[in-house]
A and B are shown apart, each in its own frame.
Chain A
Amino acid sequence: SYVLTQPPSVSVAPGQTARITCGGNNIGSKSVHWYQQKPGQAPVLVVYDDSDRPSGIPERFSGSNSGNTATLTISRVEAGDEADYYCQVWDSSSDHPGVFGGGTKLTVL
């Protein structure tokens, strides 16, 4: 089955840029979606189809996807961005197609 690999943690100072990676075999051929989850809350979709943002998500959140790595970029990081972030793809070739990465804890220093 398809595997997505994320770093367990990323740390960044306020105002700087955070980059969270999601690795997978030829992930560039798939649509990647990103979710933010704060403690005790349900996940929220922040980027879909590699680089699109749902309404209400700040422009500071952006995404890219090429080759074997997708990246969520958060510019001008704020304290309120501290959360767990998950990447996700739909592996249409599988009979169990829903796949999440293991998650990355973003810490704002």
Chain B
Amino acid sequence: EVQLVESGGGLVQPGGSLRLSCAASGFTFSSYSMNWVRQAPGKGLEWVSYISSSSSTIYYADSVKGRFTISRDNAKNSLYLQMNSLRDEDTAVYYCARGRPVGATLFDYWGQGTLVTVSS
């Protein structure tokens, strides 16, 4: 059974940093691209970042480019999101989501999400 479990969310002040983690199990993690998707309170889904299976290709949404860094450790079956210079508008539930092995991706499995609150 595919499982994705996020952790690392919490309350942080504007301008602060936070590192999210996603532990994957039930599939060959190193064969799949991975993504972060967020959802602000009462709002829709927003794709945040993508990393290919080998980490050779990385994309970011314009809203987080230059502030967030996605990474993965295939030996530990883990996905990460380093978030710096956090803003109020980054407040959201952050989901990790599995993509396809290669090519244009969808999100076929999701974690339960971790809440990030940016507030003074």
Contact = CB atoms under 8 A, between A and B. Distances in A.
A88 B82 CA distance: 25
Given A43-B45, A84-B44, A96-B62, 19 more contacts: A31-B104, A33-B106, A35-B45, A42-B95, A43-B107, A43-B110, A45-B107, A45-B109, A86-B44, A88-B107, A90-B104, A95-B59, A97-B50, A97-B59, A97-B104, A98-B48, A98-B61, A102-B44, A103-B45
Contacts of A35: 45, 107
Nearest to A44: B110
Interface in A9-38: 30-31, 33, 35, 37
B2 to A, nearest CB: 11
A84 B105 CA distance: 21
Contacts of A101: 44
B110 A42 contact: yes
Interface string B75-91: 00000000000000000
B35 A98 contact: yes
A92 B59 contact: no
A54 interface: yes
A103 to B, nearest CB: 4
A48 B106 contact: yes
Interface of A: 1, 30-31, 33, 35, 37, 42-45, 48-49, 54, 84, 86, 88, 90, 92, 95-103
Contacts of A98: 35, 37, 47-48, 50, 59, 61, 105
Contact of B44 (A1, A42, A97, A103): A103
Given A33-B106, A90-B106, A100 B46 contact: yes
A54 B110 CA distance: 14
B111 A99 contact: no
Nearest to A42: B110
Contact of B105 (A43, A90, A95, A102): A90
A65 to B, nearest CB: 14
